[in-house]
Amino acid sequence: MVSAIRGVLLQCDVPTKEFIISLNEGKPTNERFIIHDLDDTRLFVQPSVVNWLEQRLKQFNEENTYQPPRREDTK
């Protein structure tokens, strides 16, 4: 017998996938959102977490992006 589960396929690079897995493992067992780890770059997740996940990834990227200091022009 076949059973189907609704989900969203995420494709990302390996470091981003590891970050998503760490978010998943930080949640209690009954709140985990990864349905299946497909391969090195793809995850199948619950659709209810997509917006939250996008926000967390945006925040993570902003915190880990190098911004060079502003250069003050001297005249």
pLDDT tens for the 75 residues of the chain, in order = 898 999 999 999 999 999 999 999 999 999 999 999 999 999 999 999 999 999 999 999 999 888 888 887 655
Which H or E run includes 49? Answer: none
Please tell me the predicted confidence (pLDDT) of residue 74: 57
Res 11: pLDDT: 97
Enumerate long-range contacts of 18-23, CB under 8 Å, 24 or more apart.
19/57, 19/60, 20/45, 20/53, 20/57, 23/53, 23/56
Residue 31's pLDDT is: 95
> Buried b vs exposed e over 56-65: b needs ≥16 C-beta within 10 Å?
ebeeeeeeee
Give the whole-angstrom CA distance, residue 37 versus residue 10: 10
Total domain count, the chain: 1
β-bridge partners, 44? 9, 36
Indicate yes or no: pTM above 0.85: no
Does residue 68 fall inside a structural domain?
Answer: no
Q: Decide if 46 is inside a domain.
A: yes
Is residue 44 included in any domain, yes or no?
A: yes
